[in-house]
Structure 1
Amino acid sequence: MPYLDQGEFYSEFGTYDVEITVPQKYVVAASGNLLREHVSDTFKVYTYRQENIHDFAWFASKDFEKESMTASVGGKPLTFAVYYQKGKEKVWQNSLNIMKQAVELRNEWIGPYPYDVVTVVESRDANGGMEYPTITVISDLGNTLSRDQIIHHEIGHNWFYGVIATNERLHPWMDEGMNTFYDRRTDSVLMAQTTSKQKRFASQFNETAVQNGMLASLYNMKTDQPIETPSAQFTSINYGMIAYIKASKWMELLEKTMGRESFDLLMRRYYAEWKFKHPYPEDFKALAESLHGSSLDQVFDLLNAKGRLKPPVKKKIAPKPLLSINPNDSTYALAVAPAIGYNMYDKIQVGAVVHNYNLPLSNFRFVAAPLYATGSKSFNGLGRVEYNFYSGNRGHVKLFATASKFNMNAFTDEKGTTGYLSFFKLVPGIEYELPRTSPLSTARRYIRFKHFNLKETLLRFERDTVANSFIPFYPEQNRYINQFQIGIENNRTLYPYSVALQGEQGKGFLKASVTANYYYNYSGGGGMQVRAFAGKFFYTGDKSITSRFALDRYHFNMTGSNGYEDYT
């Protein structure tokens, strides 16, 4: 099978007899039982054996420290061992007891752990954790609660993946979704034994709340995929959110439909009948229906459907901190926070920012930041509002408008009176994103129209013939620009690119341009950014000196637009 970076293993059971020879300074941790360790002058030879596994993993380091204990779990002695990097004793404190707890809970809920050893290995490159039979590799996650959750999850894979060896290439939910379901049961146990400081942090930014918010956002944007999707066909975000999180919620729905007692009996029977075998979804369904006594089509049909597992509840508006997550998808979070700004003319500006750009993302989104300028003694601010129409395979339409007001210059006359030159910009627009050729496509194709309405305060002078002086006055000028753009951008990992065709029209002129960007990746790392640009400016009226001067701010510049030239 070719290498795939998404989705995991599927193999046949067997007995592994393995000898590993390493330099004497190295310490080895591996799957199965260590039968003997032979040490010579320069090498060590480790001999391992394990029956009824379908993979074997081993790790070696000169910096490993080892802690172990033997404890009785369900009347059976088990050896627990943790291998961590030197100097990390505090990070892994009490981890052996957490490992024992993980086995005890899964034993109670699913069935007895069939092996004699449980091993955890620390790695700098584990990216969280990765499971193998009887052994798992975990990185230092920075806090005890996250470490304990990962230990429970990765050890839990010994039941779903290790003993019940489903085809995760085709049905990843039968591994990750079922295991994550039991993680949720475990969370309440772990929260009961964490410190109050950890609980406060977890209540604000816990992993479950983030996952629920992201999943609800995918539903709203209609970019989710069915649970019963092969690993290689999932988008990267859907692999995590659907195969793990939505599938675990589907398990909760099945539990609610059957009742806790019948559901727990189902999972124990499933484990007993299918251990060291390769069940498929229809096998799991047949067993569930035999215990339930009636059809479960309504529940199992949801495995092949997109969208929510149950209708959304009616939402209420609720104030939240600046960055907020709604774990239950039942409220519109209205985030409020203080804001501060500064520029040369308005000086320090104070105010607030109000927005609803929180998880889960809703179709209607806005942000507003009203500010009071202490220098100009004026009210400024900026904001954006948009509404999104998601139609799945018919593309995405976005209606939006942005607005901003600030002072861009100032003039103090001979009497010491300061006048401020302000600008106000209002930009309504519409964008249509074409449907992607497949869920895995990274290419985004769009058509966008914007209408720029600009109001500026100008500085002019009139002559006072009596006093023989010039008196400043501040008229307002209105102008507009229509902008039309067609583009494609592909933010793929290798050789990303973008191309945009743009046309602009204002009073007295037209502009046309094309911009292309390409990133060339070097094989040894890094790369080179290449940009190509071409544009043409057209006068639609007379080409007099006056009109040229008036339209100078719209001309193309090699240095790009800046200052009063920049209206975007």
Structure 2
Amino acid sequence: MIRSIALFPLVFLVAPITAQTPYFQQEVNYTIQATLNDRDHTLDAHIRMEYTNNAPDALSEIWMHLWANAFKNRSSAFCKQKLRDGNSRFYFAPDSTMGYFENLDFTVDGNKVAWRIDPDNPDIAVLQLAQPLPPGGKLVIETPFLLKIPASFSRLGHVRTSYQMTQWYPKPAVYDTRGWHAMPYLDVGEFYSEFGSFDVSITLPDNYVVGATGVLQTASEVEFLQQKEAETRAEIARRETLLSKAEKAEARKAPFPPSSKTTKTLRYTAEQVHDFAWFADKRFYVLKDTARLASGATVDCWAMFTNEEFDIWEKGAFYVRRSVEFYSNLVGPYPWPHATAVHSALSAGGGMEYPMITVIGNSGGGKDLDEVITHEVGHNWFYGILASNERDHPFMDEGINSYYENRYMVENYGSGTTDNMLPRWALDTRQSGSVTENAYLMLAREGADTPPDSHSNDFWFVAYGIQVYMKTAMCLEWLERSLGKARFDQAMQAYYNAWKFKHPYPEDLRAAWKVAGLDDTDWFFKTMQTKQHFDMALSKIKRGGQGYQLTVKNRGALDAPFSITALRAGQPVQTIWYPAAPEKTTEVEFPDVLADLFVLDYEHAALDFNRKNNSRRTAGLFPGVEPLHLRLLALAERPARTELGILPWFGWNNYDKAMAGLILYNAPFPARRFQYFLLPGYGLKSKNLVGLADLKYRFLPGGFFQKIELGFNAKTCTYDFNPAFDYNLRFYRLMPQVRATFRSPSPAFEHELTIRTLFVGKEEPMFNTPETYERKEWERATIYEVRYSGQQRALPNPNQFAVALEYQDYTAPNDQPASYLRSSLEWKQQFFYKRNRKVEARGFAGFFLKNTQRNRGNVATNNLSGDIARGSFALNPQGYNDYRFDQIFLGRSEDNGFLSRQVSQTEGGFKNAFGTPTPYDGVLGNSNSYILSLNLKADLPFRLPLGLPLKPYFDIGYFDDATPLGADRSFSDQLLWSGGLMLEFFKGGLEVYFPLVNAKRIQDAYTEQTGNNYFKRISWSIRLGKITPITVAQRLANN
């Protein structure tokens, strides 16, 4: 399959057999009669299964897959996986679109048999045999069934009267030397089935065109397909000569014709296959080509497609033919009489394979279509013939097949489609490596990679594509380059011949390679089964009489073959491959050639974790360091160059006014061990230096931790201006921190611990009298914080949480030592009530475990001078509350006007803005004791005109007024609430709030401040502080 949880792992449902048991495999032969009702979208069928026990032990039960039941309800593993990966389409689908089996009535050898559905999986059942089935014994399982065909949520399904009939019949699970392999149906994660034969008869209206596994035995239908092919070729000729572009666009609408009132019955037979799929559509065009194998055998190659992508599917049968011949030549001969590709609806990726037939979704272009068809046809070898356990060892089919897909694309196009998927200014593959290499490094350098030989459940869906498909394919190319194509092909052909029509495991692949003469492939299986990284460094070059002696250091944990290339004037002169070097330092010989540069892995064949140490010049003061280059818009790392990314930046606040400067950084993709992001600038009005800096150094310790980052952040700008005395006030913040990201057992959950120290300095004005300004002095604070946070992304109710402790000590106004220890808990949760519609809730609780100034009469300004108590909580946080300078405020110190109405969605999260108070009136909603709050907002259940992002919101909270005046406050005086409507833009990046109902104290404050001017009550927020190239790179790797 190619792709554009509270899940259940592979279940061994009986005690495993010992590893010493000789190889065996069971056999299942099927006879099925089925009738399609395309009015009700049901299939009425009867199935007969002849099961042969080739195991050395007796079986008392038979585990069955009822995979269509994955679409029966919202408790299936399929549904849970889709929710885990952020897709709620099935979860919120109408019940009428779901699918399931009915009328199941199992018998064994004609007698009723006791059976039950697995309590945790509606798509798994077990038959309890009346008598154990002995070794060599056979039994016949039969049942009628009525299949309610679901809408197209994954593989099995229909779109109106286009049918994709996959996983459509009851099917025994595999029983092998490791026991039973009963597994629920998944979207990400494929299958494992027994070989056998199929005899399938399908009755349906006679104007359907059907493509299926097996050989068509119905002579009249053979003639029907021949007629359809002739009509298709005539249509191709007509379109080429007669139709305008507008007429071709009109033809692509492809309406569904009515079904014929007469029916036909089609019979198909298939040998040595482990599955049977069929696809039916009244709109299909048909083309045929013929593949010719080296043995002289021929294979019929079919393409069936609709008007939707008619132009590119004109070559569909040719693409099938070319891929069949390609795989047959490199791996082993195609064993079946035909190979077919159909264009149909598919919700589980770009294509899906079944024996002899594959279904392809929309492709967009001819090259893309060729690549998807090739990948899916290739699965006839890698799982169709070499039938490994796809669920448990996905690299053995998807990864190996992706290697051959890449090789096919290079042979026929010079490159794959991924090489050109990004513009050169974003990723120059000539200097930065391929898209696939950078995708691998994006995960690996964040410590977010999962070994390709992991259970499918262990991957979130993007990582599944990168690790299983891409990484495996790159490692196989690495192996092929180190061996040479001829030796590699011989080894793969030996694997094919040894294991065709069997169930190989990874150790069987290794053994087959060893028999073929590949003795050292340990490194390959380590890359499949561990997180070990490969990092070779070229550290020294010494030239002697017979050539060069090169010193190579292994700075990674993986020993693998590597190559060294000599270059002169930028052109490669010679490349030599060397075997794996287990020592940390190795000296290798290189012939005496004219060269000025040596490069490890010049052709990017290996998965080198860090290429910055791969090159070394033969002369120069710093032979291992390239001269510095300035580069505009440096997004992707160029390992062979030392680059400084540079961009202009512009900003604005009410005190510096316009700000301008430069962004200096190293390219953030893929993540670097040391990452920096510097923004020096200048305030044009304040004439002050402004800017920020963000530096991170990353460790990947393994084990319990995914990664550990040492960071340093600094920022400075102007935070206030006094026009009466014409002075600016500046602040700075220096923040060293350590962030440890823990390894999570679930792809949908992540959590981390952050420890940071904030050194905050603010200029404060000094007055001799209220009318006499004298000078500015720096007032400083040191704040310590420990924060544990996490998020669970699975739908329908994703959530986030954060628990924090903060400590500060300072000098109170009476020159007495003061301190506080405050704790806080923040919780956010989304409750989706329909697809893409949700209610969002946020709760906050803040409590001072210790506060020597708990009962002071003045709270909540940003003054650090000691006039007021520090660290207070706020129900309605604004710039004056942000004493840590975590947020961006355009008018941080404003007490009136538009900028004073900016709020922050932190702490209490209220939307009411009253501006900066004086030290003695900042009580409303602020507390030196504790606060509690709940914030709600909701999507409307319908879409407004022009997509207006309007939402209702409501906030309610309580603040404990511990000031002397607060002793007389009632509960209702300290309980605040407010609600209204809001506009939300850019996923919360900009929000505008329109309060409509308020608690009395809030309403009184509005009346006092704004009178009857409603527009002065409108507030707003922005959240831009965490959008940097560094955080974007991290989010891509971890989501």
Query: TM class, shorter-chain normalised?
Result: 0.7 to 0.9
- In the alignment, is residue 343 of structure 1 matched against residue 563 of structure 2? no
1:504 to 800, 806, 818: 806
Deviation of the 1:13 alpha carbon: 2.2
- In the alignment, is residue 69 of structure 1 matched against residue 69 of structure 2? no
| Counterpart in the other structure of 1:140 | 362
Distance 1:352 1:84 in 2: 54
Report SS of the residue matched to 1:392: coil
| Counterpart in the other structure of 1:483 | 785
| Counterpart in the other structure of 2:200 | 18
1:52 to 272, 276, 280: 272
Per the alignment, do residues 334 and 178 of structure 1 end up closer, same or farther by CA in structure 2, a change over 3 Å counting?
A: farther
Report SS of the residue matched to 1:160: helix
Moved more, 157-166 or 543-552: 543-552
Distance 2:315 2:655 in 1: 59
Distance 1:496 1:452 in 2: 31
| Counterpart in the other structure of 1:556 | 873
Distance 2:299 2:493 in 1: 21
1:429-468: CA deviation from partner (whole Å, max 9, x where unpaired): 22334454x4x4654444322222223344666779xxxx
Q: Which amino acid aligns with 2:402?
A: T
- In the alignment, is residue 211 of structure 1 matched against residue 436 of structure 2? yes
Q: Which amino acid aligns with 2:878?
A: N
Per the alignment, do residues 106 and 309 of structure 1 end up closer, same or farther by CA in structure 2, a change over 3 Å counting?
A: farther
| Counterpart in the other structure of 2:185 | 3
Distance 2:420 2:470 in 1: 23
Q: Do 1:442 and 1:492's aligned partners in 2 also have CA atoms closer than 8 Å?
A: yes
Deviation of the 1:173 alpha carbon: 1.9
Which structure 1 residue ranges, 5 or more long, are not aligned?
Answer: none
Instruction: Provide the alpha-carbon RMSD of the alignment.
Output: 3.9
Per the alignment, do residues 144 and 258 of structure 1 end up closer, same or farther by CA in structure 2, a change over 3 Å counting?
A: same
Structure 2 counterparts to residues 50-449 of structure 1, below 5 A? 50-61=270-281, 64-74=283-293, 75-90=296-311, 92=313, 94-115=315-336, 116-123=338-345, 125-192=347-414, 201=423, 204=427, 209-233=434-458, 236=461, 239-292=464-517, 296=521, 300=525, 303-309=528-534, 311=536, 312=608, 313=611, 314=613, 322=633, 324-326=635-637, 335-356=645-666, 358-395=668-705, 396-413=707-724, 419-436=727-744, 438=745, 440=746, 442-449=748-755
1:495-549: CA deviation from partner (whole Å, max 9, x where unpaired): 4444433222333452222223344455878554443322224542485546776
Deviation of the 1:179 alpha carbon: 0.8
Per the alignment, do residues 516 and 184 of structure 1 end up closer, same or farther by CA in structure 2, a change over 3 Å counting?
A: same
Q: Which amino acid aligns with 1:127?
A: G
1:234-290: CA deviation from partner (whole Å, max 9, x where unpaired): 565554333323322332343345432122122233324432222333333333223
Per the alignment, do residues 252 and 319 of structure 1 end up closer, same or farther by CA in structure 2, a change over 3 Å counting?
A: farther
Distance 1:325 1:177 in 2: 25
Q: Do 1:191 and 1:199's aligned partners in 2 also have CA atoms closer than 8 Å?
A: no
Distance 2:729 2:262 in 1: 80
Per the alignment, do residues 133 and 339 of structure 1 end up closer, same or farther by CA in structure 2, a change over 3 Å counting?
A: farther
Report SS of the residue matched to 2:381: coil
Deviation of the 1:553 alpha carbon: 7.3
1:313-368: CA deviation from partner (whole Å, max 9, x where unpaired): 515677666463459x7777754434333334444444333334633322322222
Deviation of the 1:153 alpha carbon: 1.6
Report SS of the residue matched to 1:159: helix
Q: Which amino acid aligns with 2:852?
A: T
Per the alignment, do residues 201 and 502 of structure 1 end up closer, same or farther by CA in structure 2, a change over 3 Å counting?
A: closer
- Bigger Rg, structure 1 or 2: 2
Moved more, 534-543 or 145-154: 534-543
1:183-207: CA deviation from partner (whole Å, max 9, x where unpaired): 2312323443899x95884893779
Deviation of the 1:55 alpha carbon: 1.4
Deviation of the 1:92 alpha carbon: 4.0
Equivalenced residues, count: 555
Q: Do 1:388 and 1:397's aligned partners in 2 also have CA atoms closer than 8 Å?
A: yes
Report SS of the residue matched to 1:6: coil
2:261 to 14, 19, 41: 41
| Counterpart in the other structure of 1:565 | 881
1:68-91: CA deviation from partner (whole Å, max 9, x where unpaired): 132343355544444445343345
1:96-128: CA deviation from partner (whole Å, max 9, x where unpaired): 433333223222222232332321324252422
Moved more, 132-141 or 299-308: 299-308
Q: Do 2:860 and 2:870's aligned partners in 1 also have CA atoms closer than 8 Å?
A: no
Distance 2:428 2:370 in 1: 17
Q: Which amino acid aligns with 2:695?
A: V
Distance 1:297 1:400 in 2: 37
Q: Which amino acid aligns with 1:179?
A: N
Query: TM-score by structure 2 length?
Result: 0.48
Report SS of the residue matched to 1:513: strand
Moved more, 1-10 or 136-145: 136-145
The alignment-based identity, stated in percent, is: 29
Q: Which amino acid aligns with 1:204?
A: L
Report SS of the residue matched to 1:88: helix
Q: Do 1:461 and 1:470's aligned partners in 2 also have CA atoms closer than 8 Å?
A: yes
Q: Which amino acid aligns with 1:53?
A: V
Per the alignment, do residues 59 and 376 of structure 1 end up closer, same or farther by CA in structure 2, a change over 3 Å counting?
A: farther
Moved more, 111-120 or 39-48: 39-48
Distance 1:32 1:251 in 2: 32
Report SS of the residue matched to 2:501: coil
Q: Do 1:178 and 1:248's aligned partners in 2 also have CA atoms closer than 8 Å?
A: yes
Deviation of the 1:23 alpha carbon: 5.1
Per the alignment, do residues 541 and 558 of structure 1 end up closer, same or farther by CA in structure 2, a change over 3 Å counting?
A: closer
1:376-427: CA deviation from partner (whole Å, max 9, x where unpaired): 444422221112222111424322122222333444459xxx6444332222
Distance 1:150 1:271 in 2: 23
Moved more, 34-43 or 248-257: 34-43
Distance 1:548 1:285 in 2: 68
Per the alignment, do residues 394 and 461 of structure 1 end up closer, same or farther by CA in structure 2, a change over 3 Å counting?
A: same
Q: Which amino acid aligns with 2:279?
A: F
Distance 1:404 1:208 in 2: 35
Per the alignment, do residues 144 and 331 of structure 1 end up closer, same or farther by CA in structure 2, a change over 3 Å counting?
A: farther
Q: Which amino acid aligns with 2:505?
A: Y
Q: Which amino acid aligns with 1:360?
A: P
Q: Do 1:138 and 1:150's aligned partners in 2 also have CA atoms closer than 8 Å?
A: yes
Per the alignment, do residues 470 and 334 of structure 1 end up closer, same or farther by CA in structure 2, a change over 3 Å counting?
A: same
